[in-house]
Amino acid sequence: MKLKICGMKYQENMESVAELQPDYLGFIFYDKSSRFFDGKIPQLPNSIKKVGVFVNESLDKVINLVGKHDLQAVQLHGNESPEYCTKLKSFCDAELDSASHQKIELIKVFSIKDSFNFDILKPYDGIVDYFLFDTKGKLPGGNGYTFNWDVLKNYPSTTPYFLSGGIGLNEVEKIKAFKKSPASEYCYAIDANSKFEIEPGLKNINELEKFKYELQH
C-alpha cells in the first residue's frame, strides 16, 4: 500500500517528512482548517506527489492553485457533485504534470462512522481516480479517530481507495490484519495526519519513521 501524509504546513517540517519518502504529501487549502496552507511548497523529490485538499471550493480557485503549486493530485473533501468532479476531471486529464508527465489524479472523500450507503459512490465511479474514506466527525478531516473498517467488507466498487481517519502507531497491527482481509482488495493507500502531530500541521518525524518501518515489516 502507498503512504500519504496529509496536513503539511511548515516548510522545514515538510522537508524532513519528504526524506521519509512517502508516496503523497497533502496540503490543505481550506481556510477554516487549523492546517490551512498558505505558503510555498519546497522542491520535493519527483517520487512524491503533492496533493491539494479542498472543501467545496470554486473550480477556478482549485485550478489556479493546481497551477501555482504544481499539484499532482486534487482531493475533494466537501459535498462536491459528480458534475463538479466531471468538470474538474476534464481539466486534470488535459493537464500533464511537467515533472512526471502523468495526469493529475482526482480523489473524492466520503466520511464513514458505523455504516455507509455505498450507492452514493456510483455516480462518481469512472470519474474520480480514487475514493478516500475518512471518519465522520465535526470537522471535514483530522478528527483523530478511526471509523469501523468492517463497513468496507461491503465495498462494491473497483475504484481504488485511500484509508484515512485517526490512523497512528497504535493502528499498525490493525492495518496489517486489514491488509489480509478481502475488504482491503482495493485499498490503495494509507492516509496519516493528526495522530502524528506535535501541533496542527507539525508532524513528529520519529513517529512517522517508525510507522512507515513497522508497516513494511
Cell numbers 475514493 correspond to what residue? Answer: 131
Tell me, what's the pLDDT at 145? 73
Cell numbers 482488495 correspond to what residue? Answer: 185
Tell me, what's the pLDDT at 102? 73
Q: How many separate domains does the chain show?
A: 1
CA quadruple 83, 88, 90, 93: dihedral sign: negative
Cell numbers 470519474 correspond to what residue? Answer: 127
The cell for 100 is 512526471
Tell me, what's the pLDDT at 101? 60
Tell me, what's the pLDDT at 114? 85
Tell me, what's the pLDDT at 116? 93
Write the secondary structure of the chain as one string of H (helix), E (strand) and C (coil). CEEEECCCCCHHHHHHHHCCCCCEEEEECCCCCCCECCCCCCCCCCCCEEEEEECCCCHHHHHHHHHHHCCCEEEECCCCCHHHHHHHHHHHHHCECCCCCCECEEEEEEEECCCCCHHHHHHHCCCCCEEEEEECCCCCCCCCCCCCHHHHHHCCCCCCEEECCCCCHHHHHHHHHHHCCHHHCCEEEEEECHHHEEECCEECHHHHHHHHHHHHC
Tell me, what's the pLDDT at 136? 78
Rounded to two decimals, the pTM is 0.94
Contacts of 85 (CB under 8 A, 6+ apart): 76, 106, 108, 124, 127, 128
Tell me, what's the pLDDT at 169? 96
Tell me the one-letter amino acid at 41.
Answer: I
The string of DSSP letters for 33-45 reads STTB--S-PPP--
Tell me, what's the pLDDT at 123? 97
Tell me, what's the pLDDT at 143? 52
Residues spanned by the domain of 127: 2-216
CATH of the domain at 170: 3.20.20.70
Digitized pLDDT (tens) for each residue of the chain, 217 residues in all: 999 999 999 999 999 999 999 999 999 999 999 999 999 999 999 999 999 999 999 999 999 999 999 999 999 999 999 999 999 999 888 876 554 567 899 999 999 988 999 999 999 999 999 999 999 766 654 456 789 999 999 999 999 999 999 999 999 999 999 999 999 999 999 999 999 999 999 999 999 999 999 999 8
Tell me, what's the pLDDT at 139? 60
User: Is residue 23 exposed (0-12), middle (13-18) or buried (19+ Cβ within 10 Å)?
Assistant: middle
